Amino acid sequence: MAWKETNVFEERMKFVVAWKRGGWSLTDLCHEFNISRVTGYKYLEQYELYGLDGLKDKSRKPKRHPHQTRKKIIELILQERKEHPRWGARKLLASLSARIHMIKKWPHPSTVGRILKQNDLIKTPKRRIRRESVEQPFSHALGPNDIWCADFKGHFTVGNGERCTPLTVTDAYSRFLLCCEIVAKADTANVINEFTKLFSEYGMPLAIRTDNGTPFASNALAGLSKLSVWWIKLGIKLERIEPGKPQQNGRHERMHKTLKEETALPPRSSLEAQQKAFREFQKEFNYLRPHEGIQNSFPAKYYQKSKRKFPKRIVKASYPTNIIVGEVNDIGNLHFEGHRIFLSSALALEEVGLEEISDRHVKIHFYGVSLGVIDLYTGKLLQFKNPMPSSLTSESGF
């Protein structure tokens, strides 16, 4: 008789029952059930040892897996995740492998992800709408201090009701977090004070990238503010992202997301406690947290201080001899060729260079940038949206 594939367990029971009733030789009974004598002996033996359960199919899962993750490694992964609950598989692996050298072969990130999921340490993320990437319209950072990115992490209230306004500054190349300081108010004086400390400690960058909000920019000529005028006088190039496009400063914004998750959910009890949390985050972000964009290394490994030293005093701009020097009065007006032209209150008491580019037009220069063009026939000012690189070569190097 043939085995019924639909219920092998019943056929095995019938085989054992027939043998128990007697009247069969094992050879004839095995022939009747179309199985070998070896298989027949195995079923009878399994029945004697385990009863009916011995006739059921056994799991084909191997008792040992040659590539199974060792228990000690799983424990290390879970402990690291406990210490850094928002780190993903790649960051956890990078951190562990950088510190623990006795383990030569770590599991693949997908295996770590599976371990975290099995231990209920991963939440399924919401599906995100994929948006078209926006090409970065600025210069590319090829080394540390090529570009610094600055912004205010949106204000929030700490536990005792005080308003917290942190100023953040990062190096675009290395991701090094240079500054995460609470300022009393997001105004020019406080920001200049913080940048003075940064320039004194780290030197000066070639460029600073910001949004168009105060105190970084204004609605005046070329978006000038007192702060941006100070940067220009220091020989720092201004880079401003387009309004409503924070993705143009994506690395800095991504840092802000992590900063919020790690230090402000929930906020600390006071400004002092919140600043302490920022300092701890800054240390971890720079020295302990792996970053995929720099081969899962640490920002501190890629950052070094700038060779551009912060000057004790700002050198006065010196324009070529063919350039007329105009003085801006204390309210931002320039008197030139019979016209009174308002430039910007940010330029109050500064000197600008005036270059004749046609019989009718004069271009306005300020240190290393051009700000706009004056129409001598009408006295009107054609304003540049942002400071433009100047073509002038001056004695002071601007």
Most confident of 69-83, 118-132, 205-219: 205-219
Beta partners for residue 287, in sequence order: none
For all residues of the chain together, what is the average pLDDT? 87
Quickly state the pLDDT bin for 288 (edges 50, 70, 90): very high
What span, in angstroms and rounded, lies between the C-alpha atoms of 344 and 330?
A: 10
In whole angstroms, give the CA distance from residue 41 to residue 114.
42
Please give the Cα distance from 224 to 218 (Å, whole number): 6
pLDDT digits (tens, 9 = 90+) for 199-208: 999 999 999 9
Give the per-residue SS3 of the chain.
CCCCCCCHHHHHHHHHHHHHHCCCCHHHHHHHCCCCHHHHHHHHHHHHHHHHHHHCCCCCCCCCCCCCCCHHHHHHHHHHHHHCCCCCHHHHHHHHHHHCCCCCCCCCHHHHHHHHHHCCCCCCCCCCCCCCCCCCCCCCCCCCCCEEEEEECCCEECCCCCEECEEEEEECCCCCEEEEEECCCCCHHHHHHHHHHHHHHHCCCCEEEECCCCCCCCCCHHHCCHHHHHHHHCCCEEEECCCCCHHHHHHHHHHHHHHHHHHCCCCCCCHHHHHHHHHHHHHHHHHCCCEHHHCCECHHHHCCCCCCCCCCCCCCCCCCCCCEEEEECCCCEEEECCEEEECCHHHCCCEEEEEECCCCEEEEEECCEEEEEEECCCCEEEEEEEEEECCCCCCCCC
Tell me which of 157 and 69 has the higher pLDDT.
157
Q: Which residues pair with 166 in a beta bridge?
A: 182
Residue 364, CA distances (Å) to 235, 331, 347 in order: 17, 17, 12
Task: Give the rounded percent of residues in the chain with a pLDDT score beyond 70.
Answer: 90
Give the pLDDT confidence of 39-75 residue by residue, as tens digits: 988 888 888 888 888 888 777 666 555 567 788 888 8
Q: Quick check: 209 pLDDT over 90?
A: yes
Report pTM.
Answer: 0.72
